[in-house]
Amino acid sequence: MPRRSATGSLLPVGPSVLRWSPLNGRRYYILAENEYLRVSNLVQAAISRGDPENSNKWLAAQDRLTKQILTLGEELGLTPKARKARGLIAPRK
C-alpha cells in the first residue's frame, strides 16, 4: 500500500506547495495520474483474485488519489472553473 504523508497525501507534497510552484505542481499531477493507473491495476487484480480485503484497501487508495488529482487540477487551472477564476479562456457549456 502506498505510504501517506502527514497531510494524508499519497504524494510527497500537499496542495499548498502548488500555489507558489506550478512547475512542481505539473510534475505531481503526472505522478498522481501514474500512481492512480498503477493502483487501478492492483484493484482489478485483487478483484479478479476474489480478495475483498486487498481490493478494499486499494479502492481506498484509488479514492484518495482521485481526490488529489482533482485538487491538483483545480490548483493548476486545468478545470473550466479554475480557468475562469484566473481570467483564462474556458470552454462554454
First vs last Cα of the chain: how many Å apart? 40
31 occurs within a structural domain: yes
Render pLDDT for 10-52 as a digit per residue (tens, 0 to 9): 555 455 444 445 566 677 788 888 899 999 999 999 999 999 9
Within a domain: 2 = no
Q: Average pLDDT, whole number, for the chain?
A: 77
Q: Which residues are CB-neighbours of 12 under 8 A, at least 6 positions away? A: 5, 28
Whether 90 maps to a domain, the answer reads no
Can you give the residue range of the structural domain that contains 41? Answer: 15-77
Q: What is the pLDDT of residue 22?
A: 54
Q: Could you tell me the sign of the dihedral formed by the alpha carbons of 17, 73, 70, 79, in that order?
A: positive
User: Residue 86 falls within a domain, yes or no?
Assistant: no
Distance CA 80, CA 64 (A): 22
The number of domains in the chain is 1
Q: What is the pLDDT of residue 78?
A: 80
- CA gap 29, 24 in Å, rounded: 9
Chain Cα centroid distance, residue 42: 16
23 part of a folded domain: yes
40 within some domain:
yes
> Does residue 84 form part of some domain?
no
Structure confidence at residue 44 (pLDDT): 96
pLDDT band at 63 (very low <50, low <70, confident <90, very high): very high
Per DSSP, the three-state class of 33 is helix
Residue burial 13-27, b: 16+ Cβ < 10 Å; e: rest? bebebbeeeeeebee
**Is residue 51 in a domain?**
yes
**Most confidently modeled of 56-60, 72-76, 84-88?**
56-60
